[in-house]
Amino acid sequence: MSKIGKKPISIPTGVTITVNPGEVTVKGIKGELKVPVANGAIKVAVQDGIVSITRQNDERETKAFHGLVRSLLANAVAGVTVGYKKTLKLVGTGYRATSKGAGISIAIGFSHPVEVAALAGVTLKVEGNDTIQIESISKELVGQVAANIRSIRPPEPYLGKGIRYSDEVVRRKAGKTAAG
């Protein structure tokens, strides 16, 4: 049995889970998410405020999907109740972000500001001049949008300038030294 897959998921108050063939719908106070259950050997059951995930056989692929489906459902339940948030920091002289409608505009050392449009279901906020908050009910969307923004100018190892996650530690390299 999968260590992760066999853990039951408790359903908080205000959350409803509907099991349909091929997908599970999770509705909560923040919104609605659909989790695909593509493998027919994975069964999702809702009883007495607890979601349990079981598998029909012990094939390698089924074992992998067992833990995956449980993690996706747990993330969906957490997303519709609390939501997910990531914070990006702009480090460098003159690097700043400004709100522009639903999206943001980032001045990051290029000859032009970079415009980032918000995806559906994702909220982009700018705090101060150098902090970007990304919020959504989908953990996958938050991570993807944060990675896309970070890829505009990832932190470089010599001066540490660029866009980084707020909890990211950038390993610095020593620069050139004069030959003595």
When pLDDT is cut at 50, 70 and 90, the band that residue 139 belongs to is very high
- pLDDT reading at 69 higher than 60: yes
Torsion angle (degrees, nearest 10) of CA 138, 142, 143, 146: 170
Within the chain, all domains assigned CATH 3.90.930.12 are found at 9-81, 84-165
Q: What is the mean pLDDT of residues 86-108?
A: 94
177-to-42, 128, 173, 174, 180 alpha-carbon distances in Å: 59, 37, 12, 8, 9
- pLDDT reading at 149 higher than 80: yes
| Architecture of domain 9-81 in this structure | Alpha-Beta Complex (3.90)
**Residue pointed to by tokens 């969307």:** 141
When pLDDT is cut at 50, 70 and 90, the band that residue 87 belongs to is very high
* Residue with more model confidence, 178 or 115: 115
pLDDT of 9-40, one tens digit each? 999 999 999 999 889 999 999 999 999 997 78
Whole-prediction pTM: 0.88
* Residue with more model confidence, 162 or 4: 162
- pLDDT reading at 100 higher than 80: yes
Tell me yes or no: is domain 84-165 CATH 3.30.420.10: no
- Residue 155 neighbours by CB under 8 Å, 6+ apart: 91, 161, 162, 163, 164, 168, 170
Pairing of strands 131-136, 162-165: unpaired
- pLDDT reading at 1 higher than 80: no
Q: State the alpha helices, DSSP H only, in 15-167.
A: 60-81, 139-150
